[in-house]
């Protein structure tokens, strides 16, 4: 681990235990419309831009609501969970503190919405650890592309090859790998079905961040 000068984290499913929120939002929203949630639908919307997912949902089920109304409904349902119930995953804060002590730059590369992300980071005492945050909406491409990771590295003033990236989904691992970064896949229940794929594609796989504590950076002890 001696060559890394920056660590880039995904948010949902990687540092915060939030993937259940979108399952709940999907279930509650579609149930209100008399529609059953299928695995096909869940797989289809995973990793989509927020608006794209709303457009897909409207078209697929022929909903009367506008795309904007669907997005607002989803945001309202998710915000309640993010603001009051979502917690960080085990050993995240301890690892971020460890990185700070080693003078490692820390960035967040996320597909989340600031409206949701900011309160959960603050509530869990994580906000202060990040030197920068980059949203996929800034680069206009999802996480299967390298753009959001490259942009985050630029904001951190660190070369891509000097970055280590933590992600919980295959798309994120693939995008970070295309950016030339060292990839670490992090276990999350929502991506358990992708376990073999993640272990095969990532440079390293961890169950939680306790496995990263004590790693050496830049030749430091």
The predicted-structure confidence for 45-56, as pLDDT tens digits, reads as follows 876 778 899 999
- CA dist 48 and 166 (Å) reads 19
Phi and psi dihedrals of 210, rounded to 5? -65, -25
Long-range contacts for 73-78 (Cβ within 8 Å, ≥24 apart)?
A: 73/29, 74/25, 74/29, 74/50, 75/113, 75/115, 75/116, 77/24, 77/25, 77/28, 77/29, 78/21, 78/22, 78/25, 78/116
- pLDDT value of position 221: 44
Q: What is the pLDDT of residues 67-98, one digit of tens each?
A: 999 999 999 999 989 989 999 999 999 999 99
Q: What 8-state DSSP symbol labels residue 12?
A: B
Classify burial at 216, counting beta carbons within 10 Å of its beta carbon; exposed 0-12, middle 13-18, buried 19 or more. Answer: exposed
Q: What is the pLDDT of residues 125-176, one digit of tens each?
A: 999 999 999 999 899 998 999 999 999 999 999 999 999 999 999 999 999 9
Q: What is the pLDDT of residues 193-211, one digit of tens each?
A: 899 999 999 999 999 999 9
Whether 115 shows a pLDDT value over 90: the answer reads: no
Q: What is the pLDDT of residues 20-47, one digit of tens each?
A: 898 899 999 999 999 998 988 988 887 6
Note the helical H segments in 88-194. Answer: 92-101, 114-123, 136-139, 147-156, 170-178
Predicted model pTM: 0.85
Asked if residues 111 and 145 have their Cβ atoms less than 8 Å apart, the reply is no
Return the H-helix or E-strand segment holding 58.
Answer: helix 50-61
Tell me if residue 113 falls in helix, strand or coil: coil
């Amino acid at each position: 681990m001696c060559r890394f000068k920056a660590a880039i984290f995904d948010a949902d499913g990687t540092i915060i235990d939030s993937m259940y929120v979108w399952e709940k939002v999907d279930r509650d929203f579609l149930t209100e419309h008399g529609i059953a949630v299928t695995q096909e639908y869940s797989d289809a919307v995973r990793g989509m831009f927020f608006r794209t997912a709303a457009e897909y949902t409207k078209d697929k089920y022929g909903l009367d609501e506008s795309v904007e109304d669907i997005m607002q409904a989803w945001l309202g349902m998710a915000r309640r969970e993010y603001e009051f119930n979502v917690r960080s995953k085990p050993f995240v804060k301890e690892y971020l503190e460890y990185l700070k002590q080693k003078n490692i730059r820390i960035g967040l590369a996320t597909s989340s919405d600031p409206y949701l992300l900011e309160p959960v980071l603050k509530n869990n005492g994580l906000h202060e650890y990040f030197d920068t945050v980059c949203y996929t909406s800034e680069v206009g491409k999802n996480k299967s592309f390298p753009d959001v990771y490259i942009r985050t590295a630029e904001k951190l003033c660190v070369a891509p090859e000097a970055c280590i990236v933590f992600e919980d989904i295959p798309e994120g691992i693939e995008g970070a790998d295309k950016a030339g970064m060292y990839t670490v896949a992090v276990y999350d229940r929502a991506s358990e079905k992708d376990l073999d794929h993640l272990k095969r594609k990532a440079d390293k796989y961890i169950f939680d961040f306790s496995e990263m504590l004590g790693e050496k950076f830049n030749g430091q002890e």
